Amino acid sequence: MRSTLGRFTSFALVATTAVFLACEESPTSIDALADANTAPQLSADAGNPVVRSAQGSAHTQTEGNPNFGETGWRVLTFNAIQRQDGTTTGNMKYDVHDQGDPAVTHRVKGEVLCMAELGNGMIVIGAKGTQRTPYDDPPVFAPFGTQLLPAAVLPDDWGIFFVVRDNGEGASASGPDQFTGVVHTNRVSVAQVCALGAAHPLAGLAEGFLNDAEAGNIQVSW
């Protein structure tokens, strides 16, 4: 669903982010994705067609938002496709900007490994962490609790997941698209979240961590 802002910087930042992801080399060679907002063609590919896809970019301000600790804005850009045999590929990038600083102050990038439905229109997307700037131990997302999400040991088992919801397009949209922050854990835990989907203990918590996208567009074909 596409939403609009009266802030030129919001549109410029989201557009720049989408172009950046589209132009860099894809570690999974998803040639069908011309950019992060272009839906893959759900057509046969050597007998293993794409059956699910999710892609887009989204921007939200963090001031006064209890889900975030800083004042500034966050931008998520991602693409993911799942084929008939269950193989899932794609890329994700998540930028954190402090208030008043146009430069990226924190960046996480990953290679998409899985995705699943959580119910109520929510889609969880899991990834292998490939870059963190500045590079340090990724924290466990505190609100979910350390008991449910063990920390990763970098670099071999760093896992990331996040949740998105496509709330429709144009006049028929039920509201702005939504996305969560990224959750850092290990790859085994990411795989478990995708495998269990709505049955995972964290699925019931995801709704409370969704944030309205003030700019951008998330598109899900499920």
38, 51 contact by CB (below 8 A): no
pLDDT tens per residue across span 170-209? 888 899 999 998 988 899 999 999 999 999 988 988 999 9
103 pLDDT tier (thresholds 50, 70, 90): low
Per this entry, what is the length of the chain? 222
pTM, entire model:
0.75
Q: Is 188 helix (H, G, I), strand (E, B) or coil?
A: helix
- How many Cα atoms occupy the beta-carbon half-sphere of 119 within 13 Å? 13
Instruction: Identify the band that residue 139 occupies on the pLDDT scale cut at 50, 70 and 90.
Output: low
Integer distance in angstroms from the first to the last C-alpha of the chain? 15
Q: CA 21 to CA 31: how far, in whole Å?
A: 13
**Predicted local distance difference test score (pLDDT) of residue 49:** 94
Contact 75, 84 (CB under 8 A): no
